[in-house]
Amino acid sequence: MTKNIGLQAAMPKSECDDELCPFHGSLSVRGKLVQGKVVSAKAPRMVVIQQEFPRIVKKYKRYARSQSKIHAHTPPCIGVKEGDVVLTAECRPISKSVSFVVVEVVS
Ligand SMILES: [Zn+2]
């Protein structure tokens, strides 16, 4: 059964039996939402997401483009491929570097 996770993200069409799925498992999401591009989907059920944001440079009073990468868990019911733009939500730490989970494929 698909659970309401409290976000305005689209529900996945298929079901999965991943315990760490916010829709079908027991993982709850809270905190930040991060949208970014998937730059690597090589690891099983984990993707690397790159986000770009403006960073102010005080000396020149201008913005510089800055980017950072985060690791996010991907349940199998959300088919994520490399190059997709995805929405991730913060969750409890799943491993040393993973504390986000993919909730929607934006494009
Ligand atoms: Zn699922």
Question: Is 75 inside any structural domain?
Answer: yes
Joined tokens for residue 40: 């690597």
- pLDDT per residue as tens digits for the range 25-63: 899 999 999 999 999 999 999 999 999 999 999 999 999
Q: How many domains does the chain have?
A: 1
Q: b/e per residue, 50-70, with b = 16+ CB within 10 A?
A: eeeeeeeeeeeeeeeeeeeeb
Measured in angstroms, how far is the CA atom of residue 31 from the centroid of ligand 1?
20
pLDDT bucket at 1, cuts 50 / 70 / 90: low
Measured in angstroms, how far is the CA atom of residue 53 from the centroid of ligand 1?
30
Per-residue confidence (pLDDT) for residue 50, from 0 to 100: 96
pTM of the model: 0.86
Measured in angstroms, how far is the CA atom of residue 16 from the centroid of ligand 1?
4
Question: Is 5 inside any structural domain?
Answer: no
DSSP designation for 19: T
For residue 72, the enclosing domain spans 33-105
Measured in angstroms, how far is the CA atom of residue 45 from the centroid of ligand 1?
11
Per-residue confidence (pLDDT) for residue 7, from 0 to 100: 81
Question: Is 76 inside any structural domain?
Answer: yes
The domain spanning residue 101 has which CATH number?
A: 2.40.50.1000
Instruction: Return residues with CB closer than 5 A to ligand 1 (ion).
Output: 16, 21, 23-24, 75, 77
Measured in angstroms, how far is the CA atom of residue 2 from the centroid of ligand 1?
8
Question: Is 26 inside any structural domain?
Answer: no
The residues with which 87 forms a beta bridge, in sequence order, are 35, 104
Question: Is 9 inside any structural domain?
Answer: no
Question: Is 72 inside any structural domain?
Answer: yes
Measured in angstroms, how far is the CA atom of residue 56 from the centroid of ligand 1?
39
